[in-house]
Amino acid sequence: MSQGTLTRPVEEEAQGTFLAELRHRLPLETYVLALTVLVWVLLAIVSPYFWTEGNIINILRQVSIDAILAFGSLFPIILAGIDLSVGSVAGLSGVVFSMLIANAGQGLLVAFVLTLVMGIVIGIVNGWAIDRLGIPPFIVTLAGLQGYRGLALLLSGGMTISGMPAGLQAFSLSSVAHVPTLFLLMAVIGICAHFLLAYTRLGRYMYAIGSNAEAARRVGIRVIHVTTIAYALAALFATISGLLLVARLSMGSPTAATGSELQAIAAAVVGGASLFGGRGTILGCFIGSLLFTTIGNGANLLGINSFWQMVIEGLLIAFVVYFDNLQKRRQAGMG
């Protein structure tokens, strides 16, 4: 028997081990991206309208708003917290912004700045209640989900607010080199958020607190300040998302972004974030948002009942979380 024949099984076993380790080491975002590409390919095959310029641009515009909301939701999740109020904050921000322009006669810049300040204050209040008062994040932000939505309905009288400047919608429909301006804005915001998490001390502190808050406190990290900043950022991003919704719809609606907080959290989790804290990326949030936006777009093109869309998204979340847990158990076994 030749030496090559003897060594072939050893080489095949080594190659199999290498491939297994590679599968275990690949981040969850890689699999979700592959699934998203697969969904795009399938929709391009079954629907002649999917791979058209108008539909692709529509997807890019919609995912821009959804992804910004998911970016903000990621910060509390990294801390092992959660913010259920971001959808209501987006709706309230749209109402306040629209009223400042249509009812108070304020200019776009003044209305924009005042609304951003309001969003930041909301986030600071959330963070303060969680750390200073010791109320669990779920309870604080659940109260915000109801309270801020109710405030939006009270301020608007339950009615939409029209009379937005024509330039606002023109901005939401504009493009640069055939790429929607909203998508470019989302990309800039995403890059800034990624830089904050990956390359700044604040970002490292967030991951450290999410991994072990007590250990982070013992090494001198000011957990209260970092938590407050995280929730302030979540509310800020939600406010920006709400303003972009006003631009796209050319009106302020007190029911805008209803339920979007759950999709934002789902996009972050599907994109690789852990609800136990310490893990998550901006890129993963974008991939998760793109997948959900694609599913919604495809369901509309194929005439699938929206209730089935909810079922599909729920099953997807359950599968991804199960797959992620399975992958982590395998890694622990290999270690």
Which pLDDT value is given to residue 11? 43
DSSP label at residue 271: T
User: Residue 7: what pLDDT?
Assistant: 46
- Whether 95 is in a domain gets the answer yes
Q: Left if phi > 0, otherwise alpha if psi is -120 to 50, otherwise beta: which for 250?
A: left
Predicted local distance difference test score (pLDDT) of residue 21: 46
In one letter, which amino acid is 275?
L
251 backbone dihedrals φ, ψ, rounded to 5°:
-170, 160
Q: Consecutive sets of 10 residues in the chain, 335 residues long: mean pLDDT of each?
A: 48 44 64 92 95 95 97 97 96 97 91 97 95 92 97 96 90 94 98 97 96 94 94 98 95 94 92 90 96 93 86 83 73 57
Residue 10 lies in a domain: no
For residue 238, the model assigns a pLDDT of 98
Report yes or no on whether pTM surpasses 0.85. Answer: yes
Residue 6 in any domain: the answer is no
State the residue range of the domain holding 270.
Answer: 32-330
Q: Is residue 12 part of a domain?
A: no
Q: Total structural domains in the chain?
A: 1
Q: What is the pLDDT of residue 223?
A: 93
Asked if the structure places residue 108 within a domain, the reply is: yes
Q: What is the pLDDT of residue 332?
A: 63
Q: Is 178 left (phi over 0), alpha (psi -120 to 50) or beta?
A: left
Neighbours of 31 (CB within 10 A): 17
Which among 97, 133, 130 has a CA at the least distance from the CA of 232?
Answer: 130
> For residue 327, what pLDDT is reported?
66
The partner residues of 179 in beta bridges, in order of sequence, read 176
Read off the amino acid at residue 285. Answer: C
Euclidean distance between CA atoms 329 and 191, whole angstroms: 32
The CATH number assigned to the domain holding 287 equals 1.10.3470
Looking at residue 310, its pLDDT comes to 83
Residue 240 within a domain: yes
For residue 331, the model assigns a pLDDT of: 62
Within a domain: residue 71?
A: yes
Cα-flanking dihedrals φ and ψ of residue 165, to 5°? Answer: -60, 140
Q: Is 209 within 8 Å of 223 (Cβ atoms)?
A: yes
Question: Has residue 13 been placed in a domain?
Answer: no
| Amino acid of residue 188 | V
